[in-house]
Amino acid sequence: MTRFDGEVSPAFEIVEPAEWRAPVIFNSPHSGSTYPDEFLAASRIDLPQLRRSEDSFMDELIGHLSARGFPTVRVNFPRSFVDVNREPYELDPRMFTGRLPSFANTRSMRVAGGLGTIPRVVGDGQEIYRDRLLVDEALARIETLYKPYHRALRRLINKVHQMFGTVVLVDCHSMPSVGVSRDEPRRPDIVIGDRYGTSCTPLLPDRVEETMTGLGYSIGRNKPYAGGFITEHYGNPASGLHAVQLELNRAIYMDERRRERGPRFAQVASDFGILADVLATTIPFGDLGPFQAAAE
């Protein structure tokens, strides 16, 4: 299964605005829905079950923002094939035939849960593969899809940083309306994740919460989602790099069972436009650059 790169072309898309309004990037890493044929053949579950891991249509909810002055990023391959919101080598040795590289992270909590860089299960816990994969297959996916995406995202972040002196990365995801555990309380409309205050200035999640609450959404902070690898890896406030994760309740904008856009889809997309405009006009980006050490 090494020819998938031709089936998933382009693997991801970055759309830069004709006129930049602000250093705010909107990213959708989990909305990809192009499934390589050999991946489907190797799966023990069918396509509708595989798609339960998707952040379906999130790329469409933010896609119009490039015309409003904000760069957008979307991944076209599914997270059940390669998950770019993980470390590059979070791999479960039980999944593979052959020896993993010595630098692979085989003991993370995400690997233990079956949700590593090459996931073992889909979102509701169903096993994906009939048989073990070759280690070379996993490494080929990482080299061909994962690494090019992160190189391109890093280039975009560096470009915005050079243009404006700071960057705000809004990492956009969606979550099932109901958790796996019956003990979990009802999920809010949006969960804002800032890695418990470490990935961005507090002003950013505060402004997101104010804006979306004003638009009628209920808001949660960091539970059950505090932000994944992208938020943690690219969020470095001391360097002027700010990252926040948004998890949108799927029941708000889609029919989760049929996997179709819901009646509020257009309104939710419009509300993301309002949020982008608020961030562009009310965040003091000049104050969010690299912290300067005081002179002795």
pLDDT tens profile 28-51: 999 999 999 999 999 999 999 999
**236 to 179, 197, 201, 222, 258: CA distances (angstroms):** 30, 11, 9, 17, 39
The answer, yes or no, to whether residue 4 has pLDDT greater than 70, is: no
- pTM, whole model, 2 decimals? 0.94
Q: How far apart are CA 236 and CA 243, in angstroms?
A: 8
Interior CA angle at 267 toward 262 and 216, to 5°?
105
- pLDDT tens digits for 218-248? 999 999 999 999 999 999 999 999 999 999 9
SS3 251: helix
- Is the distance from CB of 221 to CB of 155 less than 8 angstroms? no
Residue 294 banded pLDDT, cuts 50, 70, 90: very low
Minimum mean pLDDT among 134-138, 169-173, 175-179, 247-251: which range?
175-179
Domains along the sequence of the chain with CATH = 12-82+135-283 (3.40.630.40)
- Give the pLDDT confidence score for residue 125 in this predicted structure: 87
